[in-house]
Amino acid sequence: MFTGLVTDMGEVVAVREVAEGLRRLNIACGYPRASIGEGASIACAGVCLTVVGTGDAGGRAWFAADAAAETLRLTTVGHWRVGTRINLERPLRIGDELGGHLVAGHVDGVATVTAREPLPDMLRLELRTRHDLARFIAPKGSVALDGVSLTVNAVAGDTFSVLIIPHTLKVTTLGGLAVGDDVNLEVDLMARYAARLIEAR
C-alpha cells in the first residue's frame, strides 16, 4: 500500500524486451541502493512494480522492474522510453503518517489531459477518463494521478478537474503535463468497494 505522496522522481535509463509480453525497465532514483531489496515494491507513476535487480550508474542507484502485458496494456508504462521521468514512492510502513489517501498501486486505467490552466502559484488540470471509471470520481473525493494523491475539485460527466499546488509542482512530474497527455489513474478504494457493495445488494 502507498499514500500517493511522491518521495522521488526517477528516470528510465534502459528498456528491453525480456520475453513476449514482458518488458524490463531500469529506473534511476535517489534512493540509496542498499535500501532497495529485490522483491520490494515501488510505485512507479502510480504502478506498483516489483524490484528484480539493482545497480549503480552515473552516481545514481537504479532498480530493475518487469512490466507484464496487462500492465503495458492498461497503463502508460508501455509508452515509457529512456529519459522518461516518473514519480516514485516506497511502500507505506506501519506507523508512517498517512498524509495522502490509501493507494494500492493497482492502476485502473488512464485519464487524458483535456485542459491546462496556469493559475497564480498553481495549475488547474482538466482530465477525461472512461465512463466506467468516471462513476467512481466525486467532487472532494480522492484520485491518484501518476501516483500523486489529489483532491477532485469538480466533475462533469466523464471529465474532472484537480488543482496542483506549488509543492506538488516542484516534487512531481505533473507540472510538465500538456493537453493530450495520458496519466495513470487509480480511483479511490473506498468508492470502488462502496459501489461493489451496492451492486451486491
pLDDT digits (tens, 9 = 90+) for 127-163: 999 999 999 999 999 999 999 999 999 999 999 999 9
Instruction: For residues 80-91, give the mean pLDDT.
Output: 97
What is residue 54's predicted lDDT score, i.e. its pLDDT?
A: 97
Taking the domains of the chain in order of start, what are their residue ranges?
8-89, 109-200
Q: Where are the alpha helices (DSSP H) in the chain?
A: 69-74, 131-134, 166-171, 189-200
Residue-level pLDDT at 199 = 73
DSSP code of 35?
A: G
Q: What is the CATH number of domain 8-89?
A: 2.40.30.20
pLDDT at 35: 96
What's the start-to-end Cα distance of the chain, in Å?
Answer: 28
Q: What is the mean pLDDT of residues 8-21?
A: 95
* pLDDT at position 43 over 80: yes
pLDDT tops 80 at residue 95? no
Pick the closest to residue 150 from 128, 131, 135, 165 (CA basis): 165
* Residue where the block lists cell 503535463: 177
Q: Which residue has the cell 522483491?
A: 39
The percent of residues above 70 in pLDDT, for the chain, comes to 99
At a CB cut-off of 8 Å and minimum separation 6, what does 125 contact?
113, 115, 116, 117, 161, 162, 163, 164, 174, 177
pLDDT of residue 139: 95
Q: Write down the pLDDT at residue 197.
A: 75
pLDDT digits (tens, 9 = 90+) for 67-77: 999 999 999 99
Q: What is the pLDDT of residue 133?
A: 95
Pairing type for strands 22-29 and 109-119 reads unpaired
* Per-position DSSP letters for 8-22, written without gaps between them: EEEEEEEEEEEETTE
| Banded model confidence at residue 194, pLDDT cuts 50, 70, 90 | confident
Pick the CATH number of 109-200 from 2.40.30.20, 3.40.190.10, 3.30.70.1170, 2.40.40.20: 2.40.30.20
Q: Identical fold at 8-89 and 109-200?
A: yes
pLDDT digit string, tens, across residues 106-128: 999 999 999 999 999 899 999 99
What integer pLDDT is reported at residue 76 of this predicted model? Answer: 98
Q: Which residue has the cell 510505485?
A: 43
C-beta separation of 186 from 107 below 8 A: yes
Identify the pLDDT of residue 13.
Answer: 97
How far is residue 22's CA from residue 16's CA, in Å, rounded to a whole number?
9
Tell me what the mean pLDDT of segment 33-42 comes to. 96
Q: To the nearest whole number, what is the mean pLDDT of the chain?
A: 94
User: Which comes out higher in pLDDT, residue 200 or 2?
Assistant: 2
Tell me the catalytic residues.
2, 41, 48, 50, 68, 106, 151
What Cα–Cα distance (Å) separates residue 191 from each residue in 102, 109, 111, 178, 187? 12, 15, 17, 28, 7
